Amino acid sequence: MSHLSNRSRALLATFLFLGSLTAAYSVSSYLAPFRSAHPSATGSRIDNCSLCHTSVPELNPYGAAFAEGHNFQAIQNRDSDGDGSTNLQEIQALTYPGNANDKPSDALAPTISQFSLNSTATTLIVSITSFAASDNVGVTGYMATESSVKPAVTAAGWSATPPSSFTFASGGSKTLYGWAKDAAGNVSNGATASTTITLPPPPTGDANAPTIGSFALAPTSNSLTVSITAFTASDNVGVTGYMATESSNKPSASAAGWTSSPPSSFTFAGDGARTLYGWAKDAAGNVSNAAAATTAITVATPPPGDAIAPTVSSFALAPVSNSLTVPITAFTASDNVGVTGYMSTESPNKPAAGASGWSAYPPSSFTFSGEGSKTLYGWAKDAAGNVSGSIRATTDITLPDNGTPDMPMWVGTWFRVTVSGDRQKKALKGFIHIRSWNSDSETLVADLLTKDPETQLWTALELPLHFISGAPLRFLSWFEYAGEYAFAATISGRSRDNNLRDAIFKAVGVHPPDIGDDDDDGDDDDDPGPGITGRAVYASRGVSERNDAHVAELNSISGKLIPESEVPPELLAAMNGRF
């Protein structure tokens, strides 16, 4: 960029060169086996030395745990930093497992983008014609209610997929509310849809119950879920509900379980010779007599010594997705006796036959732990407990609404930071405050504010950050002070709907080698290390004193984004009128 001097370019090159040496050492020592154990974290914000170090060579709790046996998988179920999340959960969420202040969080509720009903209906059961929702991590539940009160995340009635219909309590003009929730327990705002239900009035003295015309089951089955091959009924006014039961007792018209269309299958309580009863009702509340159908269920039992595992013959995912929940487009398996369970996992490790998560039917989708290039493994098991080998499928997930924060977005942000320096006996605690963005010079203007523990004076140092380059969710900055002191800094963050969610500030002082005479004094001298000079401000009286003494050689600054409410009130008071 045109505003960078030759000295600036040389200093930046020096920093990048030194950084590349550090990165090479880290990869050779432990990052390579980490990436092998957790490939989804490769290239992420935690794929660096801070994974295991507070500062090289000091180890953080996760690094210390790894040092015990040098096995990342062996420590994935621990909570090394004691923040309530396992190391694996933190890695999947791309937070540092050795830093208790950096932990998985999801405060964003899902958003409902589509929710509609048939505008008119002649039955209490009304079709939901569209119901779609999205979330920054993933939608885990859907619900529709007549009440406008937001349901609790633990309330009964949530379903893993959007419901296709809703049964209202009565006719007339009706409003339905759609809700979505995520795994963190956040519930969306309600979306509304309206319909008008006009029920056909029963003829005066209508005492005619519907009549079942046909009702049949598959004659044999090797599963407890048996197909209903025929179910028809008629009425002098109209059939309004269908039901199938194992009991021969006539259900009431208000009983739970009635559906607006004939069911296509029924799941029995056990195997053997079974009888099912079909019923129909009308709008007047008349319930038909039962029609009966029989089936013989034989659930396959494995022969003694069955050691042959199932074989997964096809397994495929949608190749790209803008949601963490990705459709499974194919999943078939076979066995010498019979497949009894299906499972899909992100882990390549074979699941036990008794593990949770097996389903009697192939799953239609899978919710991944994060975005990017993902691999899923499909498994099958049989009644003898034999588990198949896996077939894997891949997909590329790109989540929406996670764009790179633009520069003006950083203005007004605060970072709580730790400042270390050559002449300091110990690191100082302080703050970085970003005041403005100059688009002409491409510079963020920031202040470094530190407090002397003995004098209780605040020192303010202006730090201009000249933008160099950027990538999604990250950008690299470089800045200098007084023309002599050079630093390289990075600010990385996440945003949604043009609002910052979290961010990290890191800077390191560059101590360049002799790069020639650049001050026209005839001396080919080395530059001094970076330092801090600035204005001292009293906490109680605002800006009232100056202190131009050299404070410290600055080695590094690092910290996280905080809300202004966490800034000490006396510091905000001291800054009043100055910034």
- Parse the chain into domains and list their residue ranges: 6-90, 111-197, 211-297, 311-397, 407-515+524-575
- pLDDT score recorded for residue 217: 93
Percent pLDDT > 70 in the chain is 76
Q: How much of the chain is helix, strand and coil, in % rounded to 5?
A: 10, 40, 45
Mean pLDDT of 415-427: 70
Mean pLDDT across the stretch 79-95?
Answer: 80
Cis ω before 57 (30° cut-off from 0): yes
pLDDT at residue 577 above 80? no
Nearest to 518 by CA among 1, 2, 3, 11: 11
Q: Is 565 helix (H, G, I), strand (E, B) or coil?
A: helix
CATH topology of domain 211-297: Immunoglobulin-like (2.60.40)
Q: Is the pLDDT of residue 224 over 80?
A: no
Average pLDDT over residues 538-548: 33
Q: Is the pLDDT of residue 543 over 60?
A: no
- Paired tokens of 231: 């179910």
For position 420, what pLDDT does the model report? 77
Least confident of 143-147, 269-273, 422-426: 422-426
Q: What is the mean pLDDT of residues 119-138?
A: 85
Phi, psi of 295 (to 5 degrees): -150, 160
Tell me the whole-structure pTM to 2 decimals: 0.30
Q: Give 343-348 contacts, CB < 8 A, sequence gap 24+.
A: 343/378, 343/379, 343/380, 343/381, 344/315, 344/376, 344/377, 344/378, 344/379, 345/376, 345/377, 345/379, 346/40, 346/374, 346/375, 346/376, 346/377, 347/377, 348/375, 348/377, 348/390, 348/392
pLDDT value for 494:
65
Closest CA relative to residue 434, chosen from 570, 559, 569, 573 = 559
Residue 11, pLDDT above cutoff 90: no
Q: In this predicted model, what pLDDT tens digit does every residue of 135-191 receive, in sequence order?
A: 876 788 899 999 888 988 878 788 888 888 888 877 889 999 999 988 777 899 999
Instruction: Tell me how far the alpha carbon of residue 442 is from its chain's centroid.
Output: 33
| Mean pLDDT (whole number) for 76-82 | 85
Q: Per-residue pLDDT averaged across 68-95, rounded?
A: 82
pLDDT for res 7? 43
Please tell me if the domain spanning 311-397 has the same topology as the one spanning 407-515+524-575.
Answer: no
**CATH 3.40.1000 corresponds to the domain 407-515+524-575:** no
**Residue 240 binned pLDDT confidence (cut-offs 50, 70, 90):** confident
Residue 447 pLDDT: 84
350 pLDDT band, cuts 50/70/90, is: very high
Given CATH 2.60.40.10, say whether it is the number of domain 311-397: yes
Average pLDDT over residues 215-222: 90
Sign of CA dihedral 456, 458, 459, 464: positive
- pLDDT for residue 425: 56
C-alpha to C-alpha distance for 173 and 175, rounded to whole angstroms: 7
Average pLDDT over residues 32-57: 82
What CATH topology corresponds to 111-197? Answer: Immunoglobulin-like (2.60.40)
- If one compares 202 and 142, the residue with the highest pLDDT of the two is 142
Average pLDDT over residues 265-293: 90
What does the alpha-carbon distance between residue 144 and residue 150 come to, in Å, rounded to a whole number? 10
More confident residue, 204 or 572: 572
